[in-house]
Structure 1
Amino acid sequence: MAIKNVVVNCTDVQRSVEYYTKFLELQVVGEPTPERAVLDAVTATIELRAVGNGRELSTWVGDDLQKGFRHVGLKVDRLDERAAVLKAAGVEFKLDPLDAEGKVRICFFYDPDGTLLEMIQGDLQYAEILDADGVARERALGVPQRPRFDHVAITIEDRERTSAYYDEHHGFSFIGTIEQPHDQRGFSIGYLKGGDTVLEVFTYQVPKSERDPQLDVAGFAYAELDGKPPADLGKLVSPDGTTVYVDPDGFAFAVGSEA
């Protein structure tokens, strides 16, 4: 099972289509409208939906100590070259390209409505491998010919609880960890793999803030997962009538045929 689709709200669908197709080589699926467009990102789709409420009304902040959604990650080749093109176009960066823990190269930047995106180059070298078969399947995907959806990152309170839930309900296997030994907050990353996609979960040993999902403002709205609908999580309804579940850390997702 896997992450099938990521819904991103935007104030101008055409502008966002141009951004994602020009800079990230995503491919348009079907016929875009002013209200909606679907983009192929190889292992999942990114769905752009029009909303009237802009970035300024969002309660999301770019602080990983806020629980819930943190960013969308894409595997790429030629990361520095791609980052240079984004910078030349005036795209706002949160983190310039650098070599990170796990022997990968990464950078962080924003889409036109403030959704935080990451580009990652290279195969992660895990501090601890918990599922060797899962890691082997990940590496077998190889170097992408064009940017490929890799993960959604979320900040959580309890890794054991999160891993158990997404394993039982959505078939995600906990494949490994990356530690951040120089981070005074006690930062650790866990990787839950489903199909060709990943939930990247951040944990910290310091207090974190809460955030309720917002389905009607610009930015990340929710992910669509394979699996069975949960019976014990809170529910929201998106502007188009989709049932959206909220896990204990404030991460919003829809399930299978319900989406």
Structure 2
Amino acid sequence: MKLNAIHHVAIICSDYARSKYFYTALLGLHIVAENYRPNRQSYKLDLALPDGVQIELFSFPNPPARVSRPEARGLRHLAFSVASLADAVAHLEAAGVTVEPIRVDEFTGKRFTFFQDPDGLPLELYEQ
């Protein structure tokens, strides 16, 4: 088997309108498709990054909270590459998003930082 790339990452949100705004208006992801699934009382929003990788944003009635503590098992965070970390941080902070202090990767020397989506999902910006 040979994997080619990541096709998508799926995220379940607690407030569909708030998360849709966050990922589209604030982060600038392009809407590929938006569907309401009445049998599940759920929206499925397909979003795309410029390289084609997609994020599936789901809403469900009353989704349970995910255990969130440092170094818990499972997906740790989702990282986006950016050309200018300073510009991306300024954009987020201007929108009222709290961004952690910029750090430097000890192995690559690249700069990165973390912030959270509306449900507390850790997101990383990694400067290329």
Smaller-chain TM-score bracket = 0.7 to 0.9
User: For the Cα contact (< 8 Å) 1:35–1:49, is it kept in 2?
Assistant: yes
Distance 2:43 2:103 in 1: 36
Secondary structure of 2:114's counterpart equals strand
State the identity %: 33
DSSP-derived class of the 2:102 partner: strand
Q: Decide which of 112, 129, 137 is 2:118's aligned counterpart.
A: 112
**1:175-227 alpha-carbon deviations (Å, 9 max, x no partner):** xxxxxxxxxxxxxxxxxxxxxxxxxxxxxxxxxxxxxxxxxxxxxxxxxxxxx
| 2:16 equivalent to 1:27 | no
Instruction: Work out the CA distance in 2 between the residues paired with 1:51 and 1:31.
Output: 14
Map of 1:100 onto structure 2: 105
5+ residue gaps, structure 1, are 123-259
- Normalising by the residue count of structure 2, what TM-score does the alignment of the two structures yield? 0.80
Taking the TM superposition and a 5 Å limit, the aligned residue runs for 1:1-12 are 1=3, 2-12=5-15
Q: Structure 1 pair 87/32, CA: closer, same or farther in 2 (3 Å)?
A: farther
* 114 and 53 in structure 1: CA distance in 2 versus 1, 3 angstrom threshold: farther
CA RMSD, aligned part only? 2.0
- The correspondence of residues 1-150 of structure 1 with structure 2, limited to 5 A, is 1=3, 2-33=5-36, 35-41=43-49, 42-53=51-62, 57-61=65-69, 63-64=70-71, 66-93=72-99, 95-101=100-106, 102-122=108-128
TM-score normalised by structure 1 residue count: 0.42
Tell which structure's C-alpha radius of gyration is larger.
Answer: 1
For 1:113, the aligned partner's letter is D
Provide Cα deviations, 1:75-105, integer angstroms capped at 9, x if missing partner: 1112111112212222233x32233221111
Structure 1 pair 19–46 and aligned structure 2 pair: CA distance change class (3 A): same
Q: Which has the higher contact order (CA 8 A, sep 6+)?
A: 1
| Structure 1 CA distance for aligned equivalents of residues 120 and 62 of structure 2 | 12
Q: Describe the superposition over 1:149-174 as per-residue Cα deviations: whole angstroms up to 9, x where unpaired.
A: xxxxxxxxxxxxxxxxxxxxxxxxxx
Structure 2 CA distance for aligned equivalents of residues 79 and 119 of structure 1 = 7
Structure 1 Cα separation of the partners of residues 127 and 33 of structure 2: 29
CA–CA separation in structure 1 for the residues paired with 2:123 and 2:60: 20
Deviation at 1:54, TM superposition (A): 5.6
**How many pairs align?**
118
1:173-212 equivalences under 5 Å are: none
